[in-house]
Structure 1
Amino acid sequence: MADLAGRELVANGVRLHIVEAGPVDGPLVVLLHGFPEFWRAWERQIGPLARAGFRVVAPDLRGYDLSEKPPGVPAYRLSRLREDVAALIHALGYERAHVVGHDWGGIIAWALAIRQPEVVDRLVILNAPHPAAARRMLRLPRQWLRSWYILFFQLPWLPERFLLRSGRKMLRGTNPAAYTPHDRELYQRAWEQPGAATAMINYYRALPRFGNVKGTEVRVPTLVLWGERDVALLPELADGLERWVPDLRVVRFPRASHWVMRDEPVRVNNLLLGFLSA
């Protein structure tokens, strides 16, 4: 992995821990992790991007690991999460950035590109549904069967206990090297940060009340990378996105899981470099 520097900064009134690599004057790439990860979700992508001349910034999203954990469910409404990213870009001294998001990071990235396209240069999404596609697919019983955990996460205290006791079992890709025992230990330590488990699950608790995105059109060049062995999201969620995303390329990974950037890092990295350098 490239030489990394970690520090904290304040964006949108929240203290965020970030990890940086690459030249400070390079084009900015912001890597947004998902649940239940933190910045290390991107450890196989940071080095190649930095060596290619990009300034790479991978934050711990609010509530995760070393970032601030505001109390209460409303603090994790989607509008605030996307405003964190826009403010982070500006706090780093940029007007725009390439934004790459996986899972919850991808949900935030979609919302940012829809609502604040002026801060997004190019968009890359990994296994995260466009909001209109998600609304369409949630009408299908097949998707609800896969999304049962969203209902479970609405319960008090029990989801936190599940995460801390059994969260490691979620981190299983189709590639045996996707997550090592050391990786899982690092994730366990992140979840055990004071207040982290509740903050992470509050993303899901906020979703039914505060998760709507006004608008659907994405007006920036977009690359979608989709692991088709995702146990939580149907492959059809990557179908028909041209309806809302005119400048779009979709690449499917038939043998990859939800954790596509860990299952097939070399191919993912080559696609990222080609797309972001265009």
Structure 2
Amino acid sequence: MHPSSLHTRAVRWALALSLLALFAPARAADKHYMVTAPDGVALAVQESGNPDGPAIVFIHGLLGSRLNWEQQVGSAQLRGYRLITYDLRGHGLSGKPTGLEPYRQGRRWADDLAAVLAATQARKPVLAGWSLGGAVISNYLAAYGDAGIGGAVYVDGVIELAADQITPHPEIYRDVTSPDLKTHLDAERSFLALCFRRSPDSATFERLLANAALASWDMQTAVQSMSVAAAEGLGKARVPVLLLYGAQDVLVQAGPAIARAKAINPRVRSIVYAGSGHAPFLEEPERFNRDLAAFMQSLAR
């Protein structure tokens, strides 16, 4: 075939693919929208993956945002699922109301999650909550029950803000609320470093640090005494619950946290990653994604 004919054919194929992309139905990966919580706080929601697949709602931790879940959103192992992320109040692109009251009551965080679930209309989604996100799940279960969800995954989740479960770092938790900007930012960097036994690459760490700098100062003060209804929520859950913790976590003590969760709900299952710290989904993403996919498949069976 003459080279000019090959070139013409290539151009036609490129044009056809461009038109297909232009007129193809929008995928969930293209969805970014705002949801309003009952008290008026705007919540930034994002979707990716298969819009027709079983839904997973990812709930990040303190000083995070949806960016924490990049290794899950881009995972080949999870591409068949509808992946929903949102920025908690006081974080990321969500609203940051002033004062302590909008953050101290755990029920407000539960109402946020309920508003997101209602807006997405996800049927029996699985909730995956990291660190503070675990407390959000418990508060949601206490307020709304588990009839609307298919299961829950606590990822180094806060079961209770109890001294035997949370490793004390008084200087960091003091300094993140400091009015001095340098002290505040240095404390956020120190907090973020404690999240990992295996630190991510420098670009990812810097992005997550910028993530932390977006967080509300009032939220960082109030959340340290946030109410967590573990017994009323996690304790009464009848849906399958999986605990995924890093054995090297220096923020949430894996052993006592898992023991407390099983004491209030003996039906929960647990997996411990011997080599991970507080963020196994970033430190061992392939293993984490495989375990999450296996949990989803077990629900389907």
TM-score (norm 2): 0.77
Task: Say which of 47, 63, 72 aligns to 2:74.
Answer: 47
- Contact kept, 8 Å, 1:28 with 1:57, in 2: the verdict is yes
Task: Say which of 138, 143, 147 aligns to 1:118.
Answer: 147
1:186 equivalent in alignment to 2:170: no
Bigger Cα Rg: 2
Counterpart amino acid of residue 25 in structure 1: D
Counterpart amino acid of residue 6 in structure 1: H
The 1:155/1:265 distance shift into structure 2, 3 A limit, reads closer
C-alpha root-mean-square deviation of aligned residues, in Å? 2.8
- Contact kept, 8 Å, 2:178 with 2:184, in 1: the verdict is no
- Contact kept, 8 Å, 2:281 with 2:288, in 1: the verdict is yes
The alignment of Structure 1 onto Structure 2 pairs a total of residues equal to 263
Secondary structure of the structure 2 residue equivalent to 1:171: helix
1:273 equivalent in alignment to 2:274: no
Provide structure 1 residue ranges, at least 5 long, that are not aligned to the other structure: none
Separation in 2 of the partners of 1:147 and 1:165? 14
- Contact kept, 8 Å, 1:29 with 1:98, in 2: the verdict is yes
Separation in 1 of the partners of 2:176 and 2:295? 38
Separation in 2 of the partners of 1:181 and 1:26? 34
Counterpart amino acid of residue 220 in structure 1: V
1:17 equivalent in alignment to 2:47: no
TM-score (norm 1): 0.82
The 1:151/1:45 distance shift into structure 2, 3 A limit, reads closer
1:241 equivalent in alignment to 2:258: no
1:108 equivalent in alignment to 2:136: yes
Task: Say which of 181, 185, 194 aligns to 1:164.
Answer: 185
- Contact kept, 8 Å, 2:167 with 2:250, in 1: the verdict is no
Stretch of structure 1 that moved more, 262-271 or 245-254: 245-254
Instruction: Give identity over the alignment, percent.
Output: 24
The 1:144/1:113 distance shift into structure 2, 3 A limit, reads closer
Deviations 1:216-246 (A, max 9, x none): 3222200100101111222322125333224
Task: Say which of 249, 252, 255 aligns to 2:272.
Answer: 252
Separation in 2 of the partners of 1:202 and 1:66? 19
Separation in 2 of the partners of 1:234 and 1:268? 19
Separation in 1 of the partners of 2:183 and 2:32? 30
The 1:105/1:185 distance shift into structure 2, 3 A limit, reads same
- How far residue 57 of structure 1 moved from its aligned partner, in angstroms, is 0.9
Separation in 1 of the partners of 2:293 and 2:150? 14
Separation in 2 of the partners of 1:71 and 1:78? 16
- Corresponding residue for residue 54 of structure 2: 27
Deviations 1:85-107 (A, max 9, x none): 01110011235421000011111
The 1:29/1:276 distance shift into structure 2, 3 A limit, reads same
The 1:107/1:94 distance shift into structure 2, 3 A limit, reads same
- Contact kept, 8 Å, 1:21 with 1:50, in 2: the verdict is no
Counterpart amino acid of residue 219 in structure 1: R
Separation in 2 of the partners of 1:150 and 1:113? 30
Counterpart amino acid of residue 9 in structure 1: V
1:224 equivalent in alignment to 2:246: no
- Contact kept, 8 Å, 2:139 with 2:228, in 1: the verdict is no
Stretch of structure 1 that moved more, 80-89 or 144-153: 144-153
Secondary structure of the structure 2 residue equivalent to 1:88: helix
Provide structure 2 residue ranges, at least 5 long, that are not aligned to the other structure: 1-27
